[in-house]
């Protein structure tokens, strides 16, 4: 099986080594995290991004929290701090809660906590491969697909979700070409998805976000595949800003819209997208998107910069998970999934 040429996360001695995604594609640099504060900052500042990878990184963050804490109260305070780094990505809270349960069950054994963090990372990779096989089966031979933002190996511990589906479908002969949105304002599509597509040698084209509607209208897109940062009980999905508008155009022109995400991204306690908190980020991301001092708008301009939007379930064709494909009625089928996967609640 083909594999990406890079690694996003690994432990090296007592340090967590993380690929600094702010530097891609210009350079491949790694940062060392040794403390809870280091992990928080890596997630908050988007050196690490993508819901599954945020979850894996947070697992090691809780391990550091246990190493640093002298009491249960201090440990819980550090966990709460860590979980606040990115409020929309539910995998962050999911991983923190899972590690907290391990800490309480095994009396804060550092050995057990490190093994659990390793397990979260390895499960992520296994999950991505499983959902990619399910997702590939949805596509016709020779399809042209569109993706938004980055939901590949760079957004996970390895392989990827939406881009994992695309890679598997390419290997299966089901994809002939991929269009990748630039994904403003942080350009994750241009910097990261394009990097992965070139690395995997998949025929692909980078487009400005505003080109997608024209391609869909002109029947040049057979399917849209994106990831997710949180999926509500009714199937409403929070993903990178711009996903909602894609879903509206796709529905108008009869193009299937697929969400690829692990079950850990489903928030069974959130009834609908109206209840999903949407992170608003600093205006510097819009006026200085490359963080190099070359402003594309005056500093005095007001900016509205939500990092995510919510795609309503009625605009979604199917949700691809490691346990299979979820279709309408989403809430009924997600509840069934909850019953058989209660460990993820």
Active site residues: 229
Contact 128, 262 (CB under 8 A): yes
User: Strand, helix or coil at 144?
Assistant: strand
- Residue with the two structure tokens 């057990």: 112
Q: In 3D, which of 10, 81, 9 has the Cα closest to residue 49?
A: 9
230 beta partners: 238
Q: In 3D, which of 54, 45, 105 has the Cα closest to residue 83?
A: 54
Sheet holding 9-12, edge to edge: 9-12, 15-19, 30-33
Q: What is the DSSP letter of 160?
A: B
**Torsion-angle region of residue 160: left (phi > 0), alpha (psi -120 to 50) or beta?**
left
135 beta partners: none
Q: Give the containing element (helix H, strand E) for 83.
A: helix 72-83
- Tell me the two tokens of residue 221: 């897109």
User: Strand, helix or coil at 88?
Assistant: coil
Contact 32, 15 (CB under 8 A): yes
124 burial level (CB within 10 Å; 0-12, 13-18, 19+) = buried
325 burial level (CB within 10 Å; 0-12, 13-18, 19+) = middle
d(CA 49, CA 173): 30
177 beta partners: 144
- Residue with the two structure tokens 């040429």: 5
């Amino acid at each position: 099986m083909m594999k990406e040429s890079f690694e996003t996360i690994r432990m090296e001695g007592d340090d967590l080594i993380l690929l600094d995604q702010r530097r891609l594609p210009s350079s491949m640099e790694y940062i060392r995290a040794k403390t809870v504060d280091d992990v928080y900052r890596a997630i908050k500042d988007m050196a690490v991004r993508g819901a599954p990878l945020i979850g894996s990184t947070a697992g090691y963050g809780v391990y550091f929290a246990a190493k640093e804490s002298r009491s249960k109260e201090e440990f819980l305070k550090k966990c709460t701090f860590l979980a606040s780094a990115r409020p929309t990505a539910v995998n962050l809270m999911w991983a923190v809660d899972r590690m907290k349960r391990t800490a309480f069950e095994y009396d804060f054994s550092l050995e057990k906590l490190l093994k659990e963090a390793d397990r979260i990372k390895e499960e992520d990779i296994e999950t991505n491969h499983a959902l990619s096989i399910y997702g590939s089966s949805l596509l016709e031979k020779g399809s042209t697909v569109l993706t938004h933002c980055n939901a590949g190996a760079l957004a996970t511990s390895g392989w990827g979700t939406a881009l994992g589906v695309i890679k598997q479908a390419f290997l299966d002969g089901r994809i002939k070409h991929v269009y990748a949105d630039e994904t403003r304002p942080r350009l994750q599509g241009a910097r990261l998805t394009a990097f992965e597509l070139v690395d995997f040698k998949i025929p692909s084209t980078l487009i400005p976000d505003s080109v997608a509607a024209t391609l869909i209208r002109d029947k040049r897109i057979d399917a849209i595949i994106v990831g997710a940062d949180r999926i509500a009980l009714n199937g409403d999905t929070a993903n990178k800003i711009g996903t909602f508008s894609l879903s509206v155009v796709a529905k108008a022109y009869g193009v299937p819209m697929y969400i690829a995400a692990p079950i850990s991204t489903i928030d069974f306690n959130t009834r609908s997208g109206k209840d999903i908190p949407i992170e608003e980020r600093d205006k510097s991301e819009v006026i200085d998107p490359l963080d190099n001092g070359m402003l594309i708008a005056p500093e005095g301009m007001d900016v509205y910069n939500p990092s995510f939007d919510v795609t309503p379930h009625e605009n979604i064709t199917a949700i691809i998970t490691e346990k299979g494909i979820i279709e309408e009625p989403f809430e009924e089928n997600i509840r069934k999934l909850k019953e058989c996967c209660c460990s993820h609640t």
